[in-house]
Structure 1
Amino acid sequence: MGEQNPLCVNVSTTNSTTEILSRYDMINWVNDCLHTHYTKIEELCSGAAYCQFMNMMFPGCVNLRKVKVKANLEHEYIQNFKVLQASFKKVGVDKNIPVDQMIKGRFQDNFEFVQWFKKFFDANYVGQKYDPMEARESTIIWGGTPPGPSRIGHNNKVSASRLVHATKPTTRKASGLDSKHIGAATQTAGGAEGGGSQKLEDLTSQVSKLKTKVDGLEKERDFYYGKLRDIEVLCQEREQRNGKSVGTEKILEILYATKEGFAVPEDHVEEGAAV
């Protein structure tokens, strides 16, 4: 028996065959196609977007229920890439996925793969109607900071961490707040009689409103945090190309500035190190 013919059009990526798109063009393309809210290339390291693209191009080749669309841990990323690899095999894609590199959230590894994937998409998508929100059951995907080293480089670890800690609080405390309220509501439920039922409903409503508010604030925070990171990288890339300038140094100084007496919480330093 001969080998089965692939169901897809395989492509290769070279400088002469790839349309040159910036990182911003790529992210806009992903967000426009999938109705997502990624803010930078590194966030594609979860693999979720590629799984949905495969579902879009080849209906039925990916079960999106197996995809962790809100993944934020490396083992969840690996699971998503296993789903992606299975879909590649199913339709005959001959591209090797550098999973070990991509899940680290480094810019270059993820940018090279999305460049190839854009070319693959252009060669295979025939324009059939597709509702990405309906396909993933209306789950909203917002970008987040991937685990692993900063994309800025080893020479700038100190300054980069200063930006991270100065602008992005942890989500852990918010989750703890919800747990306390939920725990209180549960305890009330255990001994609720008569008027206690109304009190339970009130507490449940308060928890729901608080959680919605926290979720909204976190999304807004991540949105502006992504913009700050992009500004930081642009300044540092400019310095690498053209040397330091008063303008870029002033911008970075503003980005890294903290209020007097500010100290980075110890749990921020360790965050992301433990699995």
Structure 2
Amino acid sequence: MAINVYSTNVTSENLSRHDMLHWVNDTLQSSFGKIEELCSGAAYCQFMDMLFPGSVPMKRVKFRTNLEHEYIQNFKILQAAFKKMNVDKVIPVDRLIKGRFQDNFEFLQWFKKFFDANYELRDYDPIEARGDIGLGSGVNDMTGFIAPPLPRPPATRPVKSMQPPSVARPGLGAARPGAGAVKPLSGSRPDGNSSRVDELTNQMMDLKLTVDGLEKERDFYFGKLRDIEVLCQEHEGEAPVIQNILNILYATEIPTDDITQLELEEDVENNSTF
């Protein structure tokens, strides 16, 4: 059974975000670029498999995903492993899957203490254990694990939208046709050109992360809208508010006035229950 830890995140023993990220990547042979990426829950599932072999069904873990419902599935697997090993920690799934730094950093700080309290040295190949699947934003889908990406400026936070336009993924190899992963330039190039290429590479990586975020937002809100649509269809005709909601869902243009919103609010007040 596991040794439970209850220390808070405010202690002198805590590592910096960079040290924590290095520990995760070094232990799992992964290539996470930032703490927020741990919101998928996959890394924690593998940590549990490393600490307590057989506690996690590794084939069910989604290691390469940007979908929130698959994040939730990973954390359900993690919670089941916690229960199996009598770990008392309650996982704040709703907060972690949102990908905010503070929530994920605090949970990682706790997990690092939990890991240190329970770790026993044994032979363990993390890449083989997850079926040679890459883990982290620095993973190339064609080749698996590669070195962590170059330092980059913080990604612009995606603007939330209920109907974001379809965005094409930028190709990292577009600037050099036929090339695979971006490689460091040789020392024979002038320093100016090398710095410029590094800057453009960082910008492309930043754009890719931004697009990934936009697509995740789009998929999340589309799923919400689909759930609302199904619920309304099941109760269609039972209350005027249902039809108003369906009208909004099926509208092809954004209303230019507040009439629809006002009607919806009035119907909600008059029909508090279906």
* Alignment TM class, shorter chain as reference: 0.5 to 0.7
Q: Which residue of 1 aligns with 2:202?
A: 224
Paired letter, 2:72: I
- Whether the 8 Å CA contact 2:40–2:70 is kept in 1: the answer is yes
CA distance in 2, matches of 1:173, 1:57: 38
Shift of 1:94: 0.1
Instruction: Could you tell me which runs of 5 or more consecutive residues in structure 1 were left unpaired when the two chains were aligned.
Output: 1-6, 145-158, 163-168, 175-208, 230-263
Shift of 1:224: 3.4
CA distance in 2, matches of 1:227, 1:28: 19
Asked if residue 113 in structure 1 is aligned to residue 107 in structure 2, the reply is yes
Q: Which residue of 1 aligns with 2:222?
A: 274
CA distance in 2, matches of 1:69, 1:82: 14
The 3-state SS of whatever aligns with 1:129 is: coil
Q: Which moved more, 1:19-28 or 1:38-47?
A: 19-28
- Whether the 8 Å CA contact 2:9–2:110 is kept in 1: the answer is no
- C-alpha change, 1:143 and 1:226, in structure 2 (3 Å) is farther
- Large movers: runs of 4+ above 6 Å: 226-229
- C-alpha change, 1:138 and 1:19, in structure 2 (3 Å) is same
1:82 to 67, 72, 76: 76
Shift of 1:13: 2.1
Per-residue CA distance 1:142-190 (angstroms, 9 max, x = gap): 228xxxxxxxxxxxxxx7559xxxxxx956476xxxxxxxxxxxxxxxx
Shift of 1:56: 0.1
- C-alpha change, 1:124 and 1:225, in structure 2 (3 Å) is farther
Paired letter, 1:69: F
Asked if residue 125 in structure 1 is aligned to residue 103 in structure 2, the reply is no
The 3-state SS of whatever aligns with 1:274 is: helix
Correspondence list, 1:132-171, <5 A: 132-143=126-137, 160=157
Shift of 1:128: 1.2
Per-residue CA distance 1:61-103 (angstroms, 9 max, x = gap): 0011010001211001000000000000000000000000000
- C-alpha change, 1:126 and 1:17, in structure 2 (3 Å) is farther
Q: Which residue of 2 aligns with 1:182?
A: none
- C-alpha change, 1:160 and 1:75, in structure 2 (3 Å) is closer
Instruction: Could you tell me which runs of 5 or more consecutive residues in structure 2 were left unpaired when the two chains were aligned.
Output: 139-155, 160-165, 172-176, 183-197, 224-274
CA distance in 1, matches of 2:44, 2:21: 13
Q: Which moved more, 1:11-20 or 1:29-38?
A: 11-20
CA distance in 2, matches of 1:33, 1:25: 12
Correspondence list, 1:36-55, <5 A: 36-55=30-49
- Whether the 8 Å CA contact 1:18–1:115 is kept in 2: the answer is no
Asked if residue 24 in structure 1 is aligned to residue 18 in structure 2, the reply is yes
Per-residue CA distance 1:89-121 (angstroms, 9 max, x = gap): 000000000000000000111000000000000
TM-score by length of 2: 0.55
CA distance in 2, matches of 1:112, 1:16: 9
More helix per residue: 1
Per-residue CA distance 1:183-242 (angstroms, 9 max, x = gap): xxxxxxxxxxxxxxxxxxxxxxxxxx98x94xx46xx99x8369869xxxxxxxxxxxxx
TM-score by length of 1: 0.55
Q: Which residue of 2 aligns with 1:14?
A: 8
What is the alpha-carbon root mean square deviation over aligned residues?
A: 4.0
1:33 to 27, 33, 52: 27
CA distance in 2, matches of 1:171, 1:110: 29
Q: Which residue of 2 aligns with 1:68?
A: 62
